[in-house]
A and B are shown apart, each in its own frame.
Chain A
Amino acid sequence: MNRTVLIVGLIIVAAIVAILFMGLGNDPAHIDSPLIGSPAPGFALKAVGSDETIDLTRYRGKPVVLNFWATWCRPCWDEHPVLTANAQMAGDRVQYLGVVFQDEESKIRSFLEQRGWAYPTLVDQAGKTAIAYGVGGVPETYFLDKNGIIVAKFAGPMSAEDIEKNLRKAMQ
């Protein structure tokens, strides 16, 4: 009997099975964020295409749609025109912000030049902001009310209806 193999093996087995078991029953696309109802973690991030640093507190007083995305994420490509169109329609009433996760600024810039943009896109160095928000994957969007409280979270690419439904909560 090789005790090392047995003990190490069983520990690995127990860990794998426990993690998979805990994952059962979860719908990975719809996770409630523990941050809902709490103030949104603050950040000051550099905007793509300028030297300006944008602080979240600047937008206190109006609802914010905070979209985490990346150019390597295919569903984000589909979501981009939807967000851009909605941001244009909303005008000054709602602030849209893009936060790019694990990506390079040159790639983001060429993506935006090709597809257009309607709101600031920020670079999340080392993914710190994504970690603070508990981002589970991109695209993922947080809806903040005018007081900076997170009222809703959406995982996956959004349709115009998804945006409208969640934004309604942020506008109340």
Chain B
Amino acid sequence: MTASLGRFLILASVLVSAAGAFIGFAAGQKQSPEGLKWARRFAYAFAALMLLATVVMEYALITHDFSVQYVAQVGSRDVPLWVTIVSLWSSLEGSILFWGFILGIYIAGATRLNIGKHEEYMPYAIGTWLGCGAFFAFLIAGPANPFLTVPNPPLNGPGPNPLLQNHVLMIIHPPMLYLGYVGMTIPFGFAMAALLRKRLGHSFLRPLRASLLLPWIFLTIAIMLGGWWAYEVLGWGGYWAWDPVENASLLPWLTATAALHSAVVMERRGILKGWTVTLVQASFLLTILGTFMTRSGVFNSVHSFTQSSIGPTILVFLAVTLIASVVLLALRIDSLESDGNIESAVSREGMFLVNNLIFVVLTFTVLVGTCFPLIVEAVKGKQMSVGRPYFDAMAVPMGAALLFLIGVGPALPWGRATKREMVRALVPPIGAGVVVAVIGALLGVRNPWTLVTLFFGGYAVHVTLAQMWLPLVQRMKRGGSFGEALVDAQLRRGRRRFGSYIVHAGATIVLVAIAVSSTQRTSQEMTLKRGQTAQAAGYSITFTGIEERAEPHRQSTIAHFNVTKDGKPVTTMDPRMNQYAAMREPIGTPAVHSTILSDLYISIMNIAPDQQSAGFVVINTPMVSWIWIAVLLMGLGGLVALIPHRAVVMSVVAAAPAASAGEAPAATLIRS
């Protein structure tokens, strides 16, 4: 019964989305307000059907209805309720349904928010979104149907993937990633609408930018959560391994970040419209490529644990959307461009261009590195691998270059700068850069790239803080307290600008923390007997014994440690090995003691059969926790920039192309 209801809802959503897409495109073609109304209704109907189908699946999971195939596959009476609820995205079929659900919410939200606005674009945008919706609904109805029935339902099931049960981060990471991935459909729809309408007006930039920023925030946090999860669970003390699945999440993030920057130039100078649209399209297409990478089983990854037969279907969709994007772009790109230009390469917009170039080169580097084994196999019939050293060798200088731009870009004025202005903008932050690099060197940093990163980091922090400070000072000069100035100049008037500098501050800290944590880490392996103490990373670590703990869904072996420093107790640490019924090998969970300076990390390597001694790896990594905090800061900055503001577009900005070099940065605010 439940399965039949689910199948009915999904089939209905296929029809509704396909019909809605058709109506949307037809309404766009005829510019029919009535057609747009109907397209909207179909968009809401699609969202409602997806929502209902998801509710039906959750109901089946919670009631342990093992006659539904997906429940028989991932459900279990022995797991806690929260595990049952999140089982929705623990395996392929459920996660595609979850994808459809999120897509429905996004489409309904974007449709609702744009009622009465941008009516010349909206029918095409809704048509594109529902076209994508039709594909995913088809995927759920056919190749990845979670609502198939089991003729002889089992009494109990195996439970979801143990990795999902092993750590709380695995519960938040997939939804965040889907919110990022699926959300890229919305700016893609807007970009396609702009191409179909042959124009990209100034007022349409706002929905385009906002719809890109929201999934960008989710994707930023999702990538961090994935790294954090790897760090907390996999036991090797690292957070990024350039694994194909990790790269799959990074690729759309890189192009979306580039697009957010080129959109600013587009807004100010009226140029780069075609380029921005291309980047927006690429961000969406890379999410589909990423889905293919994760789901097709083509790539050899440590965590592509959901391999399936939907690869060919996704490939067809990828090919269709790629061809449609390229053809439309070729047909319409020339009609989007306006006659603005860049006056000088050494200007803020010049730096935006370099930034875009680096992001695109980085995207290609990661894409080629990830696909290289496939390329060589296709060309030569034999396999080669691109290991971590390739990615590191390429990404480290580009990361440093981006950090350089975070510093130099905002320091330069828009338009053309005089020599004196350039010196005044670029020289003072050098002091901050030198100070940070010297502190790093005194603390033992010797790696040249890390020192360069520290220098650029100090430089960028100086510039970022100065740029945040300037509007405050100017507002205070006009009267008012610091608090009033903060609220008025940053949170009310210059929110977008303020938000983007918070993102820059976060990104600077992330890049510096990555450089320091990956080069300054120390690792020590040791075998300890019960009661024995060892010295590592300035701590005394005493192994106090092993405990076995049985839970309904897993058996855990926990090692206990007392950690002291200079004779004073610091903490107890309890790394564990969890054995799940569904998995042959145990999954380790290292113990991490985080401080603001560094993380002490203990992971079990082996335990003697008599449990009187065990082998451990003890890793001390500086600045790791800074990465997690700074990424959250980036997300927060994104949110600050996203929140709509009623004091719409200041005249200074509307007259953007006229902005002259002599303007103080605060007068060139981009307001939303």
A interface residues with partner B (beta carbon < 8 Å):
1-3, 5-6, 9-10, 12-13, 16-24, 26-29, 31, 33-34, 70, 72-75, 77, 81, 101-103, 114-115, 130-131, 134-138, 155
In the bound complex, CA of A104 to CA of B318 (Å): 40
Given A24-B312, A74-B241, A137-B300: A16 and B322 within 8 A (CB)? yes
Contact between chains at B330 and A18 (CB < 8 Å): no
B382 at interface by CB-CB < 8 Å:
yes
Looking at the complex, which one of B297, B327, B382 makes contact with A134 (CB distance below 8 Å)?
A: B382
Known: A3-B330, A138-B385. A13 touches B323 (CB 8 A): yes
Contacts of B236 in A (CB 8 A): 74, 77
Q: How far is the CA of A108 from the CA of B329 in the complex (A)?
A: 50
Query: B79 near A: Cβ within 8 Å?
Result: no
Chain A to chain B contacts (Cβ below 8 Å), 28 pairs: A1-B331, A6-B327, A9-B325, A10-B327, A12-B326, A13-B323, A13-B326, A19-B378, A20-B292, A20-B371, A22-B374, A24-B311, A24-B312, A26-B298, A27-B297, A31-B383, A33-B382, A72-B389, A73-B388, A74-B234, A102-B390, A103-B389, A115-B525, A135-B384, A136-B300, A137-B300, A138-B385, A138-B387
A9 & B330 in contact (Cβ 8 Å cutoff): yes
Cβ contacts under 8 Å, A2 to chain B: 329-331, 333-334
In the complex with contacts A70-B387, A74-B234, A74-B302, A28-B373 CB distance below 8 A: yes
Q: Which of A1, A17, A81 contacts B315 (CB 8 A)?
A: A17
* Complex contacts, A22 vs chain B, CB 8 Å: 374, 377-378
> Given B292, B297, B329, B387, which contacts A101 in the complex, CB threshold below 8 Å?
B387
In contact, B322 and A20 (Cβ under 8 angstroms): no
B300-316 toward A: CB 8 Å interface, digit per residue (1/0)?
Answer: 10100000000110010
B172 interface hit (Cβ, 8 Å): no
How far is A102 from B319 in the complex, measured between Cα atoms in Å?
Answer: 35
Collect the chain A residues with CB atoms within 8 Å of residue B298's CB. 20, 23-24, 26, 28
Q: Beyond the given A12-B326, A19-B375, could you list 19 further A-B residue pairs with CB under 8 A, ordered by the A residue number? A: A2-B333, A5-B329, A13-B322, A17-B315, A20-B296, A20-B318, A20-B374, A24-B298, A26-B298, A26-B377, A27-B297, A28-B298, A70-B387, A74-B234, A75-B302, A115-B525, A136-B373, A137-B373, A137-B385
The CA of A9 and the CA of B329, in the complex, are separated in Å by 9
Residues on B with C-beta less than 8 A from A101 are: 387
Determine whether the beta carbon of A114 is less than 8 Å from that of B525.
yes
Residue B299 lies at the interface, judged by CB distance under 8 Å to chain A: yes
**Within the assembled complex, what's the spacing in Å between the Cα atoms of A136 and B374?**
10
Establish whether residues B300 and A29, one from each chain, have CB atoms under 8 Å apart when the complex forms: yes
Q: Does B381 touch A at the CB level, under 8 Å? A: yes
Please give the distance in Å from B534's CB to the nearest CB on chain A: 14
Q: What does DSSP make chain B's interface, helix, strand, loop or mixed?
A: helix
A90 to B382, CA, bound (A): 32
Q: Is the CB of A10 within 8 A of B319?
A: no
How far apart are the CA atoms of A73 and B236 in the complex, in Å? 10
Task: Point out the residues of chain A lying under 8 angstroms from B375, CB to CB.
Answer: 19
Q: 3 smallest A-B Cβ distances: which pairs?
A: A136-B383, A9-B326, A6-B330
Please report which residues of chain B, range 375-405, place their CB below 8 angstroms from some CB of chain A when the two chains form the complex: 375, 377-378, 381-385, 387-390
Q: How far is the CA of A9 from the CA of B274 in the complex (A)?
A: 14
Q: Is the Cβ of A17 less than 8 Å from the Cβ of B318?
A: yes
B549 CB to nearest A CB, Å: 24
Given contacts A2-B333, A13-B326, A74-B236, contact A23 B374 (CB under 8 A): yes
List of A residues within 8 angstroms of B389 by Cβ? 72, 102-103
Across the interface, name the chain A residue whose C-beta is closest to B380: A134
Give the docked Cα–Cα distance between A12 and B322 (Å): 10
CB pair B330–A5 under 8 Å, yes or no, is yes
A75: nearest residue on chain B (CB-CB)? B302
Q: Please report the C-alpha to C-alpha distance between residue A103 and residue B385 in the assembled complex, in whole angstroms.
A: 14
Across the interface, A1 reaches (CB within 8 A) one of B302, B318, B330, namely B330
- The digit string for B343-382, where 1 denotes a CB below 8 A from any CB of A, is 0000000000000000000000000000101110110011
Query: Bound complex: CA of A150 vs CA of B646, how far in Å?
Result: 72
Report A25 CB to chain B, min CB distance, Å: 8
Nearest A residue to B244 via CB reads A28
Residues of A within 8 A of B524 (CB): 114
Q: How far is the CA of A34 from the CA of B374 in the complex (A)?
A: 16
Interface centre among A5, A29, A75 (most CB of B within 10 A): A5
Q: Which residues of B contact A5 (CB under 8 A)?
A: 326, 329-330, 333
User: How far, in angstroms, from A27 to B371 measured CA to CA in the complex?
Assistant: 15
Complex contacts, A24 vs chain B, CB 8 Å: 296, 298, 311-312, 315
A108 to chain B, nearest CB (A): 13
- Given the complex, which residues of A lie within 8 Å of B325, measured CB to CB? 9
A3, B381: Cα distance in complex, Å: 33
Q: How far is the CA of A16 from the CA of B292 in the complex (A)?
A: 12
Q: Which residues of B are found within 8 Å of A137, using beta-carbon distances? A: 300, 373, 383, 385, 387
Within 8 A of A (CB), among B433-489: none
Give the nearest-CB partner of B243 in chain A: A74
